[in-house]
Chains A and B, each alone.
Chain A
Amino acid sequence: MSILLQAEKGARLLMMGNDAITRGALEAGISVAAGYPGTPSSEIIENLSKVSEERNIYVEWSVNEKVATEVAAAGSFAGLRSLAVMKQVGVNVAADFLLHLAQSGTRGGMVLVSCEDPGALSSTNEGESRYYAKMMEFPLLEPGDFQEAKDMTKWAFQLSEEIRNVVMVRSVTRLSHASGNVVVGELPTVEAEARFRYNGVFLDQMEGPIINLPGIVDPLHARQQERLRMASELMEESPFNTYTGPDAPELLLITSSACTLYSREAIHLLGVDDRVGLLKLGTTWPLPSRLLTKYLSITDRVLIVEEVLPFLEENIEALAARIAPEIGIKTFHGKHDGTLPTTNELNPDLLVDALSKILDVPYKSVSEDYAKRAQEIAVQGSPDRALTFCPGCPHRASFWNIHNALSIDNRDGFMCGDIGCYSLAAGASGFQTLKTLHAMGSGTGLASGFGKLEGFGMDQPIVSVCGDSTFFHAVMPALVNAIHNRANITLVVLDNRGTAMTGFQAHPGLKVNACGEEVPDIDIQGLCEAMGAKVRVVDPFDMEKTQETLLEMLEDDKGVKVVILRQICALSPEKKGKKMFEMSVNEEVCIGENCGCNRLCTRVLKCPGLVWDSEKKTAGIDEVICAGCGVCASICPSGAIEKREVA
């Protein structure tokens, strides 16, 4: 059974940040949890789905983040503790509902966990959601280590119930996907009973209907702001805001989140513990102004350490300006004076640089000779490793076919991209097929727009792409739009039977839900047909048929066409490690560079399962890597790559 349940109170475990957040929610006794998968957030709902039966929690993968937040809010409105989980971009999707929710308030404790990705390690942007807390006026908590990830998640439910509003807990990749030691607490016995009470009057938080309506917005908004003031009072005394360092430091370093660990490390590496005070904030909106006043008073210089945008910096500077008569004029270092970058994540080295400059302390990690030699060696010794589709990935075949169909069609057609593993098709492993890439569902929305520009002389064929999970998440409205407005486009749905990029989470197209129960599946083909699109379903590994179908659809200039390329992901549990074919290269037939094929398999298809034998001058198969999909055999013009069906 999961360690999330097994551990006795007081046990110290090595936990991933997302495990710690899960444990915090379990210790808070949640009854409802909903989310949409997205790195680095997915493990939380996955964890909860595994213990849902034992802990009597309703857990779902929702169709998107807005619906997930609504599902969680329904739990709260019915009096239950509930959790919504997403990555930072998902908060944008949820934002419309979230703004209304923050105004109406909640009943049972409700927490929104946003796992964010400064540095965009697994994202298409590094936008963040701290600003939502300020804009939408709800409390924001940011754990500074693994223990706090658990403890603050648990406390967030209590805070939510004290102020009757949603509370956001913000984690980052370096906490969510890192691991550290956590002392766990008790798992409570929960006796939850759901009932939605609505017979009281408007504005009766616990008994009335929960309504946002013109005419009552003013009292609702005033009440919301009063709640934030209550939160602010609680935050003044919070144990998650801590100070370590001298009584009158030369420099006060104010930070939060994973930056706390980097800051501590940098102070330690430079040996400046006696010169720098570290004020770690766990409650970053509303700011604990009395606490800040106290610590701003003990120094003249302040360094504010946070990732990407200067959220803390600007809010603390505004506070410092207000209280300047009391605390005097301070010098601030951070983003505005260029001490720290406003893009990308931070790390201990960036902080060492910042501190060594401010405090004039020299630091050298290794000798210049060593660093120079290591760099020289690395140029020859570590060839770049660009991201690529996995061996056996259906997307490689799909984009080979799409790219070829667009080339054969020869009218300068292009594809609008979307979010998933297939976003990699913007690069070499997908033959640079994607020409736009934005948010979930945006490929088809953009295609719908491009598809209406014929009147301005635009005659390029327009194709968009999406995965099966993305289709349900945000492509459906765009597709409706394209059909209704008679845009002439082709949508290619890469149906690999799961939310593959984030680890095969269930979606509405499958017969199974987050907890492994049987549920009705929504048929993508049937949906598209019902909307009025012309639909074809093909296996992308059938290269000839796929290209033929795509060409036929590109030539058809009447309305919206949908091509569903259906083939299970190579990493899916039912497929992983099972080869369809045993592949080999007949070295007598492969004539390499002399073939005239321009080494189609290794130079163009670039599947990692292939190798180029520079001595024999032929292609070869790396049997450790090859997944046995057989695609390379279909593209070899001289038939040198042979496939033998695995019994």
Chain B
Amino acid sequence: MENAQLKNDPYNLIITGVGGQGNVLASRMVGDMLSQLGFYVTIGETFGASQRGGSVMSHLRISATSTFSPQIPKGRAHMIVALEPTEAIRVLRDYGNPEVSVLCNTRPIQSIGVISGEQAYPALKDIREWVRELSLSSWFIDATEEALKLGNPIFGNIISVGALSATKALPLDRESFESVLSRKMSPDKIPVNLEAFDIGAGMVRE
């Protein structure tokens, strides 16, 4: 951990999305990568009912010194990774602050309220403006589109992890990703996940 430094301690990261987008796995991967570096990591999340098309959110607390609460206090997020754009707005409402960063996948998932016409889905252009207004820095990536090219929209989560690493917000690198991957997944799944990670990192570096 000598070389790895946190910009804030605890560093509060939120990964949000819609049930079924692989939110839990993404937060686990990031948590494992940082835990492996020697940090104390707490991940708070809810699953179960929220899997069924609801909003899901993982709170990651990263500290060099101790275990923090699995719930981030309101207004205290440092980085929000949104696998779905309107979820970025929802999380900013509760956990945003003028210093927060946002990494946002631009592919919408319509809620049943939107599908049925009871509610309107906002224009992506507006979402971008709102995110910029409520944050210090932001990145927008079409992770789902790239994931579909890899054969499955679920890779949007790993693409986002790759993108997060390239923002340099946290000491996450390809090497630690690969090391976690090799412990968590069967060998045949490693190359495509590494590819997804690299694609994501490339999207932020561009």
Known: A373-B133, A377-B134. A383 touches B46 (CB 8 A): no
Residue of A nearest to B43 (CB): A179
How many A residues face the partner with a CB closer than 8 A? 70
Known: A122-B48, A370-B96, A378-B90. A608 touches B115 (CB 8 A): yes
A374 near B93 with CB under 8 A, answer yes
Contact of A265 among B55, B68, B144, B153 (CB under 8 A): B68
Known: A178-B43, A179-B41, A387-B49. A428 touches B73 (CB 8 A): no
A39 at the interface (CB under 8 A from B): yes
Q: Point out the residues of chain B lying under 8 angstroms from A365, CB to CB.
A: 73-76, 97
Known: A384-B119, A387-B54. A377 touches B92 (CB 8 A): yes
B53 near A177 with CB under 8 A, answer no
A262 near B119 with CB under 8 A, answer no
Q: How far in angstroms is the closest Cβ of chain B from A274?
A: 18
Considering the chains assembled together, what is the distance between the CA atoms of A262 and B69 in angstroms? 6
Q: How far in angstroms is the closest Cβ of chain B from A173?
A: 7
Binds A, one of B104-112, B162-170, B196-204: B104-112
Q: Point out the residues of chain B lying under 8 angstroms from A39, CB to CB.
A: 47-49
B187 at the interface (CB under 8 A from A): no
Contact of B49 among A122, A178, A262, A370 (CB under 8 A): A122
Contact of B53 among A146, A179, A181, A390 (CB under 8 A): A390
Considering the chains assembled together, what is the distance between the CA atoms of A612 and B69 in angstroms? 41
Considering the chains assembled together, what is the distance between the CA atoms of A244 and B50 in angstroms? 36
Contact of A121 among B28, B50, B183 (CB under 8 A): B50
Considering the chains assembled together, what is the distance between the CA atoms of A378 and B96 in angstroms? 11
Residue of B nearest to A147 (CB): B67
Contact of A608 among B31, B53, B69 (CB under 8 A): B53
Residue of B nearest to A40 (CB): B48
A381 near B127 with CB under 8 A, answer yes
Contact of B117 among A371, A602, A625 (CB under 8 A): A602
B121 near A383 with CB under 8 A, answer yes
Contact of A179 among B28, B55, B110 (CB under 8 A): B28
A378 near B49 with CB under 8 A, answer no
Within 8 A of A (CB), among B52-83: 52-55, 67-76
Q: Point out the residues of chain A lying under 8 angstroms from B32, CB to CB.
A: 14
A348 at the interface (CB under 8 A from B): yes
Within 8 A of B (CB), among A592-611: 599, 602-604, 606-608, 610-611
Contact of B73 among A12, A258, A352, A622 (CB under 8 A): A352
Within 8 A of B (CB), among A257-286: 258, 261-262, 264-265, 269
Known: A381-B86, A611-B115. A181 touches B35 (CB 8 A): yes
A386 at the interface (CB under 8 A from B): yes
Q: Point out the residues of chain A lying under 8 angstroms from B6, CB to CB.
A: none
If A122-B49, A365-B75, A608-B115 are given as contacts, then 18 extra A-B residue pairs at C-beta distance below 8 Å, sorted by A number, are A14-B41, A173-B46, A174-B44, A179-B28, A269-B73, A365-B76, A367-B98, A377-B92, A377-B134, A385-B54, A385-B113, A389-B52, A424-B52, A428-B112, A602-B115, A604-B116, A612-B110, A622-B110
29 contacts between A and B (CB under 8 A): A3-B183, A13-B35, A121-B48, A173-B46, A175-B70, A177-B47, A178-B70, A179-B31, A180-B40, A180-B41, A258-B69, A269-B73, A365-B73, A378-B90, A380-B122, A381-B122, A381-B127, A382-B86, A382-B90, A383-B111, A383-B114, A385-B18, A385-B111, A385-B113, A599-B117, A602-B116, A602-B117, A607-B115, A608-B53
Which 6 pairs of residues, A with B, have the shortest CB-CB distance?
A122-B48, A365-B75, A39-B48, A178-B70, A381-B89, A378-B93
